Structure 1
Amino acid sequence: MLQRFLTLAAFCGLGLGLGACGVTDWFDSAEEPRLPGERIAILALDKGLTPDPEIADQQIILPKPFENQFWTHAGGNPPHAMYHLSINDDLSEAWSADIGEGSDDSQALLAQPIVVENVVFTMDALTDVSAYDTISGKQYWRVDLDPDDHDDGYFGGGIAYADGRIYVTTGFARVFALDARSGAIIWQKDMPGPMRAAPTVNGGRVFLVTLDNQMLALAADDGRRLWSHIGIQEDASLLGAASPAVAGGTVVVPFSSGEIIGLSVTDGRMLWSDSLSSVNRIDPLADLAHIRGQPVIDRGVVMAISHSGRMIALDLERGARAWDIDLGGVQTPWVAGDYVFVLTNDAQLVAVRRRDGRLRWVRPLQRFEDVEDQEDLIQWAGPVLASDRLIVAGSHGEAISISPYTGEVLGFIELPDGAALPPVVAGNSLYFVTDSAELVVLR
């Protein structure tokens, strides 16, 4: 039986705000914007979130950008840690494509694209999976996985790549393995429940989480079930979900209950568990402890954030907390060097020091399209770090770049439509998927 889900626009990522009709100049300087219209990028800080004055003078040093050719999973790779990627300084639209059905009142496009060997793979809101040439935009193939007896409301899932195959989770409780070259179905298996999150594939295993918080490990070669774990069920959750993170012999599993656990990849044995529920709950919405952003594994440390206002860092092997802070969000933290960059529920982009959880800077983002009347809430997705720019996309059809060193707004770009998914970076290019299911490639 399906759960009761809260699809609140403020936090579920189902933004449908319309932007301009095309992509314009990429991230012009904040001092000399080329885009028309008033830009209101800085608002008052909410809920007392302020930088730590004791580290205000500490210089942020990041690893050098590197050119990645692959983005194989939601979050980039199995640990969800991509560090500092490179893009060209002067970007323009290379091509765009209609990938299928987008978000509307009855469905949501939740799948991040993936990029492998000069091919970008996408999945629309109704489980059409497509492959495009990254240079020309030529479509290689498209396969419709949606069953004929599919009822409305069974959307969601995502895609991941490993060893020449595309693995697909779906909202109609079925998992597929496709041949990446042709789109042909290699195997398909029915699962105990629908899935909102993309799978994670590592070491010959496919890890996935169902809507009712069941974790399953399948054999990547033929889809047979290896083991499973049942988490705490939750009556209500946000739209969307997070994929497991994998590093070494541990798979880190996030649940909509706020529970986060470490399991052995070989047999599912529990290694540790924790909860990201907040003790400062003030209303029913704040009570939702859903971990919707991907957990991140970096150098033996797990970082995760929940909607209800708790962000933590844990030891990967033992699960011991290194620190926890009162910070709530539904986007994936981005780690690079000694800092973690994360978006909060209150539309603030924050630089958190990785070693102790202290805040280096806080950048409020525009919260409403109509600032004066505080109407038409903007939902932000991201960030990603590329060539010394933190990039976030908005439901109002605009993306912005922010300095990771100071939090200063660097520039803006208009997208064809709102974007509830963060961009993907591969081959010095940026890939956006809009709510109307348009894939926009900038290089």
Structure 2
Amino acid sequence: MTGTRSLLDSFRARVFRLGGGAALALLVAGCGGDSWFGESSFEPHPGERQGVLIQERGLATAPHSNRPVVLPDPEPNEDWPQSGGYSHHAMQHMVADGPLTELWTTRIGSGSTKRGKLLNSPIVAEGLVFTIDRRASVRAFDARTGRKVWDVSLPERGTEERDGDFLGGGIAYEDGRIFATTGFAKVVALDAASGTELWRASMDAPVRAAPTVNSGRVVVVTLGNQTVALAAADGSKLWVHSGVAESTSLMGTPAPAIDQGIVVVAYSSGEVFALRLESGTEIWADSVTAVRRTDAAGLLYDIRANPIIDGNRVYFIGNSGLMVGMDLRSGGRAWQLRVAGTQSPWIAGDVLYLVSEDAELAAVSASSGEVLWSFSLPRWNKASKQKGALFWIGPILVSDRLIVGCSDGYVYSFSPYTGKLLGQIELSSAMVTTPVVADGILYFLTEKGRLVAFH
């Protein structure tokens, strides 16, 4: 793949500078790797730890704690029914027995183009994997074989919807139903077993975020910064909450988090709210914004990463340069950290893992906001010329590995305890959404619309 050698050279040089016992895979999976994720026995020479990137701010300059990383034991999860796993988005530490090899691969329909993008991950339930492509076609595949079970095109016949490429759209599952949001401002419920349409509801604006479903309520956030709750049974509108409308935003919108009867939403204005699931009544409100350096993206206060509810805490990270841990019921801030991100963090025990906009992979204490470790990832395919910007996706935590995708077409694994690089596998094209894991199978969705399963 173009640029792969330069990226691997960058990683190798970076690991030499960082020192320690990181292992760099020399070959892709199936070509000599001898453990879980294409790992090898390569050991870099020890060296003095030093900063790799010079930047105005970031985790590389934050004080680092000497506290060791302690994680809960890996546990199996049978399903991945929504964006972020379950409605609270706190999936902890999951299991996939290695070594991993490709189980199957299939096309989900139309992949990403300049006009339309794949923005949301597949979901897994009832032994099926469900996907939505850029033209709002939903498909179901057998999780073990990749065989297509059914497919449904959501745009209505005889309308302009049939001719368009749509930005956004996602899916969720609950109680035998698939709920799909679309870039043409519709929410559609389908029977999970057959794909039969059950109901359809119209929104006031397109929906880029995947829906979140809990206790018979389907909660969606529109591009107009409205949160709408629908009855899962028939699509009737139960309540609406509105934030401040924004004229511009990043591509992609976070799915709400729901737990303990509370809905937590984030808008492109940087506003965050806790609402009662039953009524939509505001419990508290805040703004997760910070003054960011002068790059164009930093001028957007957007929050693209899913919020996380874990016990009595809720966590947000925004593009403008702030990550916060807050009390779920009062909205009081327990801590804040100056870091920007658009990728959803991952929580496991007292550790939050994240990939920042400054291409830093880091572990942060969920209780205090202390940085436990950070590792600077390559930012360019050709670092010497600063050409070919790289985009990082993830992480997720599986069997003591942090899995992170890169726009170079590779997926990398890192130690969750130290940040050391462990291994890699190569996909047919770049991963575009956060990987998911269910019943011991990892699923990756590529920009060309290929779904790849590893087991």
TM-score, scaled to structure 1: 0.90
Report how many residues are paired.
413
Q: What is the alpha-carbon root mean square deviation over aligned residues?
A: 1.7
User: What is residue 137 of structure 1 aligned with on the other side?
Assistant: 146
Q: CA deviation at 1:30?
A: 5.5
User: What is residue 365 of structure 1 aligned with on the other side?
Assistant: 377
User: What is residue 240 of structure 2 aligned with on the other side?
Assistant: 228
1:169-200 residue CA offsets vs partner (Å, 9 max, x unmatched): 00000000000000000000111110100000
Output aligned runs, 1:174-253, within 5 Å.
Answer: 174-253=186-265
| Equivalent-residue separation in structure 2 for 1:130 and 1:267 (angstroms) | 33
Q: CA deviation at 1:371?
A: 2.1
| Equivalent-residue separation in structure 1 for 2:295 and 2:426 (angstroms) | 35
Output aligned runs, 1:287-302, within 5 Å.
Answer: 287-302=299-314
Structure 1 or 2: more helix by fraction: 2
1:23-42 residue CA offsets vs partner (Å, 9 max, x unmatched): 65562335439xxxxxxxx9
| Counterpart pick for 1:62 among 40, 64, 71 | 71
Structure 2 residue 111 is the aligned partner of structure 1 residue 102: yes
Output aligned runs, 1:14-413, within 5 Å.
Answer: 24=30, 27-29=37-39, 31-32=41-42, 44-47=52-55, 48=57, 49-50=59-60, 55-56=65-66, 58-147=67-156, 148-150=159-161, 152=164, 154-413=166-425
Change beyond 3 A, Cα 1:275–1:30: farther
Q: Does the residue aligned with 2:85 lie in a helix, a strand or coil?
A: coil
Q: CA deviation at 1:380?
A: 0.8
Check whether the contact 2:135–2:164 (CA below 8 A) recurs between aligned residues.
no
Q: Percent sequence identity over matched residues?
A: 44
Q: Does the residue aligned with 2:220 lie in a helix, a strand or coil?
A: strand
| Equivalent-residue separation in structure 2 for 1:153 and 1:406 (angstroms) | 42
1:381-412 residue CA offsets vs partner (Å, 9 max, x unmatched): 10000000000111110110000000100011
Q: CA deviation at 1:79?
A: 0.5
Check whether the contact 2:134–2:166 (CA below 8 A) recurs between aligned residues.
no
Check whether the contact 1:159–1:199 (CA below 8 A) recurs between aligned residues.
yes
| Equivalent-residue separation in structure 2 for 1:348 and 1:53 (angstroms) | 15
Q: CA deviation at 1:105?
A: 1.0
1:10-60 residue CA offsets vs partner (Å, 9 max, x unmatched): xxxxxxxxxxxx965562335439xxxxxxxx981342433765622x221
* Structure 1 stretches of at least 4 aligned residues deviating more than 4 Å after TM superposition: 22-26, 51-54
Check whether the contact 2:412–2:422 (CA below 8 A) recurs between aligned residues.
yes
Letter in 2 for 1:351: A
Check whether the contact 1:277–1:289 (CA below 8 A) recurs between aligned residues.
yes
| Equivalent-residue separation in structure 1 for 2:295 and 2:115 (angstroms) | 26
1:304-352 residue CA offsets vs partner (Å, 9 max, x unmatched): 1001100001111011100111010001110001110011001111100
| Equivalent-residue separation in structure 1 for 2:216 and 2:112 (angstroms) | 33
| Equivalent-residue separation in structure 1 for 2:232 and 2:54 (angstroms) | 45
Check whether the contact 1:51–1:361 (CA below 8 A) recurs between aligned residues.
no
| Equivalent-residue separation in structure 2 for 1:226 and 1:394 (angstroms) | 40
Letter in 1 for 2:447: D
Unaligned runs of 5+ in 1: 1-21, 34-41
Tell me which moved more, 366-375 or 430-439: 366-375
| Equivalent-residue separation in structure 2 for 1:23 and 1:146 (angstroms) | 39
Unaligned runs of 5+ in 2: 1-27, 44-49
Output aligned runs, 1:396-435, within 5 Å.
Answer: 396-435=408-447
Q: Does the residue aligned with 1:440 lie in a helix, a strand or coil?
A: strand
Q: Does the residue aligned with 2:298 lie in a helix, a strand or coil?
A: coil
1:256-305 residue CA offsets vs partner (Å, 9 max, x unmatched): 11111001111111100111111345344212111101000001100010
Letter in 1 for 2:386: Q
| Equivalent-residue separation in structure 2 for 1:205 and 1:114 (angstroms) | 18
| Equivalent-residue separation in structure 1 for 2:388 and 2:366 (angstroms) | 34
Q: Does the residue aligned with 1:79 lie in a helix, a strand or coil?
A: coil
Tell me which moved more, 286-295 or 152-161: 152-161
Check whether the contact 1:43–1:365 (CA below 8 A) recurs between aligned residues.
no
Letter in 1 for 2:315: M
TM-score, scaled to structure 2: 0.88
| Equivalent-residue separation in structure 1 for 2:263 and 2:233 (angstroms) | 19
